[in-house]
Amino acid sequence: MKKHTSIIKNIKKTAVLCSTLTTVILSSSLYAFDWPQAEIESDSFYSYFGQLRAGVISNSLIFHESSDIKSVDSGTIIALISEHDGDQGWFNSPLGNAVIIAHKDNLLTVYGNLDGSSLPENIEKMHEVQTGTPLGISGNSGWHQGNSCLEFQVADTKQKTSINPRILMPRIGKELELVIGGISAVNKKGTEYNFLNQQTLPAGQYYIYHQRQKTAVPYKTILSINGAIVETLSYDVLRQDNQRICVSGRKNYPVEIVYPDDQKQLLADITLPRGRVVLTVIAEDILGARRNVSYTLNVQ
């Protein structure tokens, strides 16, 4: 009987151990990258990938507050960008002091806005790094606003795209709430129709916009007409097209189309046909949670 109990105990211990191991292995394999600094809640970033930042579509994920910075995966340091404050004739990168690491699968990670004095003493001799290798402390050496600190980027050198780092990183806590509102249509002549008080408009080609949120960026926006999806804009990657950073949908859209001003963000480039049109806008966050709003339009 005693022996039987002992066997059961051992089985239980093994099960617990297996379960713990499975959890650890799963959690570590679910995401390609670790955190580049201390973990923060999903709704606590200073600025998100795809947001309008000083006139360009940002390909950075920007963290609040200074923190110890570490490599998100094993790899090879391929470049150190420096502030050249004392030296004449060198361009100053808005990344300030930055470390660029090449990883497997043609991925590069960029750690910008680091404090120069905090960089490891032997950083110029460091080549291979492991997950968690210290890279210094985030500071204010680059272009930055307020108390924004680490500027983190992920690039795919094969596809020539910038990847939303949050796809590859662990996520904790709730996402920032997406708000869909202030839907308007702007035709090629620049005439604007605000759907809140103007549901009648002439047929033709329009850019459809919604009110830009100052911090949150949808992971995806979907626009459908009478139930059929006509445009999906995705903020998982940013592409370069004709020397411009673009958000991709049916076409690639540069900043002056995606963010024509501080207030608007593009939803679609569509042609509205004559008749009664039900226009539905869906905004989706990175976890797949959706918000939607519909308008019935009288297109003449």
> Which residues form the interface with other proteins (CB under 8 A)?
53-56, 58-60, 76-82, 85-95, 98, 100, 102, 108, 110, 112, 123-124, 126-127, 140, 142-145, 151, 153, 155, 157, 160-162, 238-240, 243-245, 254-255
Min dist. Cβ of residue 90 to other proteins (A) = 8
Residues 206 and 83: their CA atoms lie apart, in Å, by 44
The smaller minimum CB distance to other proteins, of residues 204 and 236, is found at 236
Residues 149 and 231: their CA atoms lie apart, in Å, by 35
Give phi and psi for 38, each to the nearest 5. Answer: -60, 145
Q: For residue 131, which of 103, 100, 171 has the smallest C-alpha distance?
A: 103
The smaller minimum CB distance to other proteins, of residues 99 and 297, is found at 99
The smaller minimum CB distance to other proteins, of residues 169 and 255, is found at 255
Min dist. Cβ of residue 164 to other proteins (A) = 12
Min dist. Cβ of residue 50 to other proteins (A) = 12
The smaller minimum CB distance to other proteins, of residues 220 and 244, is found at 244
Min dist. Cβ of residue 12 to other proteins (A) = 49
Min dist. Cβ of residue 76 to other proteins (A) = 6
Cα 152 from chain centre: 10
Torsion of the alpha carbons at 202, 206, 211 and 215, rounded to the nearest 10: 180
Angle at 230 between CA 227 and CA 231, to 5 degrees: 130
Q: What is the DSSP string of 142-172?
A: SS--TTEEEEEEEEETTTTEEE-HHHHS---
Min dist. Cβ of residue 198 to other proteins (A) = 33
Residues 37 and 100: their CA atoms lie apart, in Å, by 15
